[in-house]
Structure 1
Amino acid sequence: MRAVQITEFGGPEVLRLADVPEPAPQPGQLLIDVTGAGVNYADTHAVEDSYLSRSTLPMIPGGEVVGTAQDGRRVVALTATGGYAERACAWEAMATEVPEEVSDAAALALVVQGLTAWNLLRTSARIAPGESVVVHAAAGGTGSLAVQLARRFGAGRVLATASTKEKRDLALSLGADEAVDGDPEGLKERLIEANGGKKVDIVLEMTGGPVFDASLAALAPFGRLVTYGLASRQDPTPIQATALMGRSQAVIGFWLMHALGRPELHAQPMAELLDLVAKGELVPQVGGTYPLADARVVHEALRSRATTGKLVLDPRR
């Protein structure tokens, strides 16, 4: 079968189309004919072996697929690896049936990014009605859903950051009250100004480095900064416990892997998200669907921050 495989670690240049053996499902697994494979920023880390979990070679990247299982059900599933291919295996517990009203791309937008956005707000930040929420990279797959969910969960003020006017306009159209430039220079001041001169209650942060530092500086007493990525590939300034104590702040890490296998953090939110999309009350942003052979191009665009919304590879093309 056709798949994108890497035989060495590196940047997008190591992604190559190859003919590989078809995967064999283990007991308890589904074999899925893939109609769409989601592309996540975490995939770029996996390809260079810089993610939280280590990668092994040779590897077919891709942790999320949508398609038809051998029993005829249309499902979206987490796969860990192996998604950029014509067929993939997934554990039954990691697969969810997709309502016919939900497109392939919309389903893929939910299985990692939607669940991440839901858990960032509900599980990690424990959002309370009326609180202000900063969503960085608000035009991206996770950010665009977090803006909508923050509004739905009762945020008093939703503040978005993005790198271009077009992306900021998108965030505003999705329900953000204000949208500001995400450049770290002057970011603290822009966030406070956008919040009416007050420090903010919640920040969803996935860039790291100086953006993390500026976000923490903009956080109010009893505020929570939830970190879930390192897109800049720069660690923030080390945090001192006494500084957190002195400002009554919390810094919380989130990795979706810890939510899997817990129905209240995985299966139940996934059902809720799919229902909202089916009813038109949550709108995943789709950045584009590309042929499988374009995986390298998609990774390059993702790393350069030139994309918005969910990116999908179609193995049938």
Structure 2
Amino acid sequence: MSGRITAVGEGVDPGRIGTPVTALTTGGARAEVVLAPVALSLDIGSVPPRTAAGPGRGAPTAYDLINTAARVRPGESVLIHAAAGSVGTLAAQFARLAGAGRITGVAGSARRALALVAEGTVRVDVSAECSREGLATAVQRLAGGATHGKGVLRIA
């Protein structure tokens, strides 16, 4: 489900009231008002609520990958595998919200990459055969060459 926070419980910052979120609930997600744990209520920024609610657990997974596992910070570059899938498309949006400087996606086909290219959020590599060797070459090409000794900071 998604919507705006209308009230908060004890120990939750009242400044969150009005914040657009997607939330996981154990039931009642189609109701007009639901009670959701703060840990499962994720800010969605400018992502349309209908989009954020659509993938079910995809949104929290994408959010967690970008903000908890990878800890993306402003200006960092992000590579998203399966960027045209439900988790991948949301991960790109959450990376943008986290301030990523460059977001690169790998998609398995031109058809899957079309929406990403049209949106302009992600630089896309279309690779029908994602072998380990081919992927390494694609990543270097998208990054503009070798990593110049920077290496990989985090893998989520």
Q: TM-score range by the shorter chain?
A: 0.5 to 0.7
Contact 2:52 2:59 in 1 (8 A): no
Structure having the higher Rg = 1
TM-aligned CA distance change 1:151 to 1:173, over 3 Å:
farther
Number of equivalenced pairs: 122
SS of corresponding position for 2:155 = strand
User: Residue 107 of structure 2 aligns with which residue?
Assistant: 162
Write the letter of the residue equivalent to 2:151. P
TM-aligned CA distance change 1:31 to 1:176, over 3 Å:
closer
SS of corresponding position for 1:186 = helix
Question: What TM-score do the two structures reach when normalised by structure 1?
Answer: 0.33
Q: For 1:131 and 1:118, how far apart are their aligned partners in 2? A: 16
- 1:164 Cα deviation (Å)? 1.0
User: Residue 67 of structure 1 aligns with which residue?
Assistant: 30
User: Residue 9 of structure 1 aligns with which residue?
Assistant: none
- What is the alpha-carbon root mean square deviation over aligned residues? 3.1
- 1:125 Cα deviation (Å)? 0.9
> After the TM superposition, which parts of structure 1 deviate over 4 Å for at least 4 consecutive aligned residues?
none
Contact 1:117 1:146 in 2 (8 A): yes
- Structure 2 counterparts to residues 253-264 of structure 1, below 5 A: none
**Structure whose residues are more often strand by fraction:** 1
Where relative contact order (Cα < 8 A, 6+ residues apart) is larger, the structure is: 1
1:179 aligns with 2:133: no
Contact 2:74 2:100 in 1 (8 A): yes
TM-aligned CA distance change 1:123 to 1:31, over 3 Å:
closer
Question: What TM-score do the two structures reach when normalised by structure 2?
Answer: 0.63
1:192 aligns with 2:140: yes
Contact 2:80 2:103 in 1 (8 A): yes
Write the letter of the residue equivalent to 1:146. A
SS of corresponding position for 2:146 = coil
Percent of matched pairs sharing the same residue: 30
Contact 1:180 1:191 in 2 (8 A): no
- 1:117 Cα deviation (Å)? 1.3
- Structure 2: runs of 5+ lacking an equivalent: 1-24, 42-47
Q: For 1:140 and 1:129, how far apart are their aligned partners in 2? A: 24
TM-aligned CA distance change 1:143 to 1:222, over 3 Å:
closer
